[in-house]
């Protein structure tokens, strides 16, 4: 592809924009999706350092699920929060899939 584009007179920037970057978008998409999903799983660091305090300043959804299930023994509330977490992650993933598809169709 690079040889054909250089024969057609494409510059290095045009080669990057039209060949290299579109070929890298699936890996960019995967890395971005994994980073966003893993950002919801930041339980251990917050629990070890502050346990959600002072007050509830650093409480995230994963720490809330832990506190509801193992501290307050409220399994129903923890299950509901886990379903909400699943819906949030699923919605973000669905949006990313649609944006990635539109971006690939555009390129």
pLDDT of residue 60: 84
Burial category of 31 from C-beta neighbours within 10 Å (exposed 0-12, middle 13-18, buried 19 and up): exposed
Report the distance separating Cα 56 and Cα 86, nearest Å.
Answer: 22
Of residues 57 and 9, the one with the higher pLDDT is: 9
12: pLDDT strictly greater than 80:
yes
Cβ neighbours of residue 51 under 8 Å, at least 6 residues apart? 63
pLDDT average, residue stretch 5-11: 89
41: pLDDT strictly greater than 80:
no
Q: What b/e sequence results for 69-102 when a residue is b if at least 16 CB atoms lie within 10 Å of its CB, and e otherwise? A: beeeeeeeebeebbeebeeebeeeeeebeeebee
pLDDT of residue 106: 56
pLDDT average, residue stretch 59-79: 90
């Amino acid at each position: 592809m690079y040889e054909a584009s250089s024969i057609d007179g494409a510059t290095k920037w045009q080669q990057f924009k039209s060949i290299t970057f579109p070929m890298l978008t699936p890996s960019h998409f995967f890395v971005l999706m994994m980073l966003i999903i893993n950002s919801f799983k930041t339980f251990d660091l917050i629990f070890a350092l502050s346990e959600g305090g002072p007050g509830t300043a650093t409480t995230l959804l994963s720490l809330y699920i832990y506190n509801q299930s193992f501290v307050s023994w409220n399994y129903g509330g923890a299950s509901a929060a886990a379903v909400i977490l699943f819906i949030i992650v699923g919605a973000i993933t669905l949006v990313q899939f649609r944006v990635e598809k539109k971006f690939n169709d555009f390129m």
